[in-house]
Chains A and B, each alone.
Chain A
Amino acid sequence: GAGVSQSPSNKVTEKGKDVELRCDPISGHTALYWYRQSLGQGLEFLIYFQGNSAPDKSGLPSDRFSAERTGGSVSTLTIQRTQQEDSAVYLCASSLVWGQPQHFGDGTRLSIL
């Protein structure tokens, strides 16, 4: 597609449930990033994928968070046993390679009841 596509655009779920967020990067982009944007907190780096290299998971806030990238394209961010503090907008970005400008999707707004 022309841009980074994220789904769903909105997700409301109950505390304790698992959620999966999907990111479809720009075709041909080898680098993919996940960020979390909480109200008044700016963007927080979560995880980074570059080609077939091992991902940098240093930004994941707890072991309830995981992400994978299949076939070097689509990525899924999974949050297990969701907590209310997980409520935020989750943004995905991709770039041609690391160091090149990042292009962002419109995010998934996650609300935990």
Chain B
Amino acid sequence: TQLLEQSPQFLSIQEGENLTVYCNSSSVFSSLQWYRQEPGEGPVLLVTVVTGGEVKKLKRLTFQFGDARKDSSLHITAAQPGDTGLYLCAGEGNSGGSNYKLTFGKGTLLTVNP
């Protein structure tokens, strides 16, 4: 069974601060996705990283996939109240025939205070 551990589970910061969320596993994933979920809504895909060592930037968000494709991080620069939400990482399987299954972490609940 492939598991993804996210940390921290909760994070409360002030507007303008930087933060990093981590997603770790002992398993290798063919790709890793990051989602953001707001209360009462479904998760919305932010980015997919595929190549080991890959770095993707989305405005103030920087996503990194570990060289061994077992871990990932999300860094937010100068956080804003609009960044508040539940951030989920999800790994796509690396075993043939079940690659459509996403394994989700439990999420990091981020609160950015004005």
- A positions within 8 Å CB-CB of B: 4, 31, 33, 35, 40-45, 48, 50, 56, 59, 91, 93, 98-99, 101-107
Contact indicator B106/A48 (Cβ below 8 Å): no
| Closest CB pairs A-B (n = 8) | A104-B42, A98-B100, A42-B106, A43-B104, A42-B104, A106-B41, A106-B42, A104-B43
Cα–Cα, bound, A27→B105 (Å): 29
Cα–Cα, bound, A93→B102 (Å): 11
Chain A binding surface SS class: strand
Cα–Cα, bound, A41→B9 (Å): 11
- 8 Å CB contact of A50 from B43, B45, B100: B100
- Residues in A neighbouring B66, C-beta threshold 8 A: none
Contact indicator B40/A101 (Cβ below 8 Å): no
Which residue on chain B has the smallest CB distance to residue A10? B40
Asked whether A42 and B42 contact (CB < 8 A) given A48-B101, A99-B99, the answer is no
